[in-house]
Amino acid sequence: MTALRLARAATGRPRILKFDGCYHGHSDALLVRAGSGGMTLGIADSAGVPDAIAGLTAVARYNSLASVEQCFAAFPGEIAAVIVEPVPANMGVVPPGENFLGELSALTHRHGALLICDEVITGFRLRYGAAYESYRSADPHLLMFGKVIGGGLPIGAVAGRAELMDLLAPLGPVYQAGTLSGNPLSVRAGIETLKILRQPGIYENLESAAARLADGLRMALRQNHQLGCVNRSGSLLTMFIGENNVTDAESARRCDSKRFARIFHRLLERGIYVPPSQFEAMFVSIAHGKAEIDRTIEAADEALRATDDR
């Protein structure tokens, strides 16, 4: 909400552009073709959001620069910002295609809009810092963080260059405030978490544990002759059921969510708690060792077999 307000103030433009299936919190302008719970519950366009507000949000298809071009063409000079999860994790995990973020960045700059990378899930999870840094030529104006930087306590942050950040009150005219803004407990928990994440080997261990899990889940799909795929970026992954290639929200929606739900329950019976929706991500953590990963793969294999109702 604050990042969008800043972008609108900085550009003097009213519209924003988001991607189908991306989720950026539950503020009005962003509950349009939203991922996460909205996608799971079939309420991606929430009731209670006035048309006048939802109408200012243009929606493009993730991994499609052509659809972004179409939005810029439909609203010339009116789009303040493009907001994107660099690695979307709210339609399930859908990694960006080769050069997508770099080209999106160039396109956004060319049209005089700001690029906002929503790093709420990906920040400090995929590397020490922002995930966009792993992608050549991606050059966002604003970043959003949450989750990891609060060490499990409630937090949200916007970051950017001083010329944009100084537009915020009290220095500038863009208002932002909250009872818990800058909450010392959350900030301390975040600082301590970031100290742990600086220790050598953390991200390498996450990478190898997540790769082992993804390989094992792919093998389980293959051994059970199941249609499906495992998308992974670092420690984020999703096992999609019923689709072999998921690259955007449309292909994610074609997955067999009902069967995924049955698999979820079979896994839970075996003591494995994965996200309860096809449109969420598994987060491999530093607490997951080889034993936990292998137990998960074994349980997934059994769950796939137990739910095979062909």
Ligand X SMILES: Cc1ncc(COP(=O)(O)O)c(C=O)c1O
Residues labelled catalytic = 23, 118, 147
Q: Is the Cα torsion angle 24, 30, 34, 36 positive or negative in sign?
A: positive
DSSP label of 150:
G
Enumerate binding residues for ligand X (CB under 6 A). Answer: 23-25, 36, 85, 90, 118, 120-121, 146, 156
| Contact by Cβ (8 Å): 92, 39 | no
Identity of the residue, 140 or 156, whose beta carbon is nearer to ligand X in the bound complex: 156
Identity of the residue, 20 or 118, whose beta carbon is nearer to ligand X in the bound complex: 118
Identity of the residue, 35 or 228, whose beta carbon is nearer to ligand X in the bound complex: 35
CB of 308 to ligand X, least distance (A): 32
DSSP-based three-state secondary structure for 274: coil
CB of 249 to ligand X, least distance (A): 14
Identity of the residue, 72 or 124, whose beta carbon is nearer to ligand X in the bound complex: 124
b/e map 14-38, b = 16+ CB within 10 Å:
ebbbbbbbbbbbeebbbbbbbbbeb
Tokens 């049209």 sit on residue: 111
Cα distance between residue 264 and residue 57, in whole Å: 34
Identity of the residue, 34 or 297, whose beta carbon is nearer to ligand X in the bound complex: 34
Cα distance between residue 18 and residue 115, in whole Å: 10
CB of 285 to ligand X, least distance (A): 16
Identity of the residue, 223 or 285, whose beta carbon is nearer to ligand X in the bound complex: 285
| Contact by Cβ (8 Å): 205, 218 | no
CB of 86 to ligand X, least distance (A): 10
CB of 236 to ligand X, least distance (A): 11
Is residue 164 classed exposed, middle or buried when 0-12, 13-18 and 19+ CB atoms within 10 A define those classes? buried
- Cβ atoms within 10 Å, residue 288: 19
C-alpha to C-alpha distances, 23 to 5, 64, 119, 189, 222, nearest whole angstrom: 17, 17, 11, 25, 31
CB of 229 to ligand X, least distance (A): 22
C-alpha to C-alpha distances, 236 to 29, 35, 121, 260, 275, nearest whole angstrom: 26, 16, 9, 18, 12
Tokens of residue 52, six digits:
């006048």
